[in-house]
Every structure is written in C-alpha cells, then in structure tokens.
Amino acid sequence: MHAQNPVFIPGPTNIPDAIRKACDIATIDHRSPAFARMFRPAIAGVKRVLKMDAGEVFLLPATGTGGWETAITNTLSAGDTVLAARFGMFSHRWIDMCNRHGLKTQVLETPWGQGMPLERIEAALRADTGHAIKAVLATHNETATGVKSDIAGLRRAMDAAGHPALLMVDGVSSIASIPFEFSRWGVDIAVTGSQKGFMLPPGLAILGVSDKALAAMATATLPRTYFDLRDQQKGYAAGGYPYTPPVGLIAGLSKAIEMLEDEGLDNVYARHHRLAEGVRRAVAAWGLKPCAASPDLYSDTVTAILAPEGFDGTAVVTLAAQKYNTAFGVGLGEVAGKLWRFGHLGMLSDVMVLAGLATAEMAMADLGWPIKLGAGVAAAQDYFRGATAAAQQDAA
C-alpha cells in the first residue's frame, strides 16, 4: 500500500489514472493513418500550451536532456559561442553539454539561489559587436534551487542590446505548470519533457521551435542523426516518424493536454501558485528559509529548503523514504546536503501537499531539527482554507 503515497519530487510527477489508462493502448501501425490521427492533435495541443503563434513542435523519444541536445545540434556549429549564466545544476548541465559539443561557452557565474543576471547578459550582448554569440541559453526554472527566472525580461534585454542571438529556454520544470509565452516572449527554442507538468511517464522530449530557429538548421553543422529535426520534418509531413515513435506516450500526451485544458491553463497556474505558497508558509512557520534569494525568484513548482547550520538536508530525504515511504528531492551539486526539495507540480492538490508537509515535519523532528510538529501544516492549512475558498468562488 505504501506505493500509493504521492511523490513530492520535482519530477517525474504523479501520474493521473486517466493518463496511465490513455498510455495503455494496443499496438498500432505507426506508419498508418490511425497514428497520424493520434499524433497531430498532440502536436496542436502542445502549441496551445506553449502559446505558439508560429513555428513547429517536435516530440522526440528522449527526456529533457535529449531535447537540449536537439536544440543545440540543429542550430549551431562547432566553434560557435553561446552565452549562459550558471546558477544551478541544470544551467550547469546545459553548459557542460555545449562544451562537449565543441562550442565556446561564455559563462556568467552567478550565486546559486539567484536568477539569471539580466543586466550582465545585456552588457555581454552589447559588448559582442561582431555577433559571435549565436545563442543565449536560459533556464526558466532552476530545479536545483527553486528559482524562477524572468524570460520576458531576458527578451527585453536581448532586444535592448539589438542582438540577433537565438533564445533557447529550458522549460522542463516550468512548462504546463507556470505561465509560459513562447511567441510573446520571443523564444526560439523551448525544451520540456513529458514527466513534469504534463504528468506523463518519462520518455518524451517536447520542443517548440521558432521559424528563426528552423531556418538556422540550414547552416548548422554539429553532427546529429537521431535528433535531426530535418528528418523529423520529413516524417511529420508524411504523418509519421523517421523511426519508431513512443505511441503510448503520445496517446497519453493528448489526454494530458485535454485534462490541462479542461481545468483551464490559468487555473492550472493558479493551483500551482496556491500549492507553492502553502509550502512557503510552512517553511516560514518552521523557522527555515528557501534557497531562492528573494520572493520574486520563488518557483511555483519546487521549493528548495535550506538546512539549519549543522544539519544535513539529504538526511531528511533519506529518512522520509526509509521510514515513511515518501519521496522528496535531495540537494544537487553545490547545494548537496545543504538543502532538501519539496516538489509541488503536476497532479497535486491542497490535501496531498498537506500530507507531504506532515511527513516532512515528522522526518525533520526525528532528526532533531529545531521545528515544532504541526507548525508548518497549520500555517499551510490557514492559507489553503482562504485561498481554496477564493479559487472556488472565482470558478463559480
């Protein structure tokens, strides 16, 4: 029975029964019209979630990391320069991938817990008068630290600098959970995965690609085969794939989009904010602090909670798993052991979050953390009672 406990990690997220059932389909011929009838609505649905007015969506058998590789190999050439801030584990991994592909990385080192340094990015672009920088890499939601960065502000900075670089956004832990405006923000490539806001099992990399980024494929020379979007385009034109697609996941994606749109994307975003704020109220009641340096940076999909001096954040995660059969997230990279993470995205409700907070309290108390049992749960309850009632009134 313990396997029925929800997870509170930043992904993979809990899978609704309706989506699990939608993925469980009989084998079909993926080169038949039946597959095209399944596949094309999923593509159209992703466009609506991303708020894309133009460009193309690609669904690849991979995870977000495969999506990153697709983004850079289809638009860049060896020796090209990319600009990126390193302020968490996932921004670091994208930079590392670029280095491995022979790209030149201009890295703006930023303290973990901060967001993208927009003024420094604008200054770097202004200084690049020869336009050697071909892409700006942006992590919208840094899962390791619970920090959300301002993509609209980044676009304004790029425009103010008058720079033509591509804007590539890692939206793996943000898309379908918090607002994302592909066209309005001038995004060229957005990368996400099936296992976060879309509430599916891992296995799909989901990319939105602008017309500008599609045009860059004509001159990009980095090697790509499996992730070659030119082959994908040819397959899509014929209603299929250049190789065997993950048919069940694509069927589940259509159901996920249906569920998101039935709830209403604005309501999805409001629910994520409500759950996140409940967690943050609990953290304050415990006398603890988020890793995010200021409220404007708080993520609505994951909260990274700093351990008090002399305590180990990883121990909370380990004990919760062993004793209470509940999963939280450990600290990664520079913040390993310094914090633990509470994921609050995907299929979660107020009641489920309260269960997670109660479990976390027990684990911290077991380890001797200076918290009072029930304090965090009570703070979240007080908030949810008012916020949930207000949301219901608005819906009515």
| Residue 65 and residue 165 share a domain | yes
pLDDT one-digit tens code per residue, 272-318? 999 999 999 999 999 999 999 999 999 999 999 999 999 999 999 99
Identity of the amino acid at 27: T
pLDDT for 358 equals: 98
Identity of the amino acid at 143: T
Is 5 a member of any domain?
no
Which residue would you say has higher pLDDT here, 17 or 31?
A: 17
Lowest average pLDDT, out of 28-42, 122-136, 338-352, goes to 28-42
pLDDT one-digit tens code per residue, 64-95? 999 999 999 999 999 999 999 999 999 999 99
CATH code of the domain in which 67 resides: 3.40.640.10
- Look up tokens 């708020």; give the residue: 51
pLDDT for 392 equals: 61
Give the pair of three-digit tokens for residue 160: 């103010």
| Residue 231 and residue 134 share a domain | yes
Q: What is the mean pLDDT of residues 248-257?
A: 97
| Residue 254 and residue 268 share a domain | no
pLDDT for 340 equals: 98
Q: Cβ neighbours of residue 377 under 8 Å, at least 6 residues apart?
A: 282, 354, 357, 358, 361
Number of domains in the chain: 2
* Average model confidence (pLDDT) across the chain: 95
Q: Cβ neighbours of residue 65 under 8 Å, at least 6 residues apart?
A: 93, 97, 205
Strand, coil or helix: what is 50?
Answer: helix
Among 385, 329, 377, CA closest to 353: 377
pLDDT for 3 equals: 65
Identity of the amino acid at 261: E
| Residue 100 and residue 203 share a domain | yes
pLDDT for 306 equals: 98
Is 6 a member of any domain?
no
Categorize the per-residue pLDDT at 2 as very low, low, confident or very high, splitting at 50, 70 and 90: low
User: What's the rounded Cα separation, in Å, for the pair 34 and 29?
Assistant: 8
pLDDT for 36 equals: 87
| Residue 239 and residue 275 share a domain | no
- Has residue 199 got a pLDDT over 60? yes
**First CA to last CA distance, the chain:** 36
| Residue 268 and residue 233 share a domain | no
Q: What is the dihedral of CA 237, 199, 393, 275, to 10 degrees?
A: -140
| Residue 208 and residue 137 share a domain | yes
User: What's the rounded Cα separation, in Å, for the pair 294 and 99?
Assistant: 31
pTM: 0.95
Give the pair of three-digit tokens for residue 334: 């520079």
Q: How far is CA 32 from CA 61, 68, 241, in A?
A: 19, 30, 11
- Domain around 165: 17-261
pLDDT one-digit tens code per residue, 343-366? 999 999 999 999 999 999 999 999
| Residue 188 and residue 159 share a domain | yes
CATH code of the domain in which 365 resides: 3.90.1150.10
Q: What is the mean pLDDT of residues 142-149?
A: 97
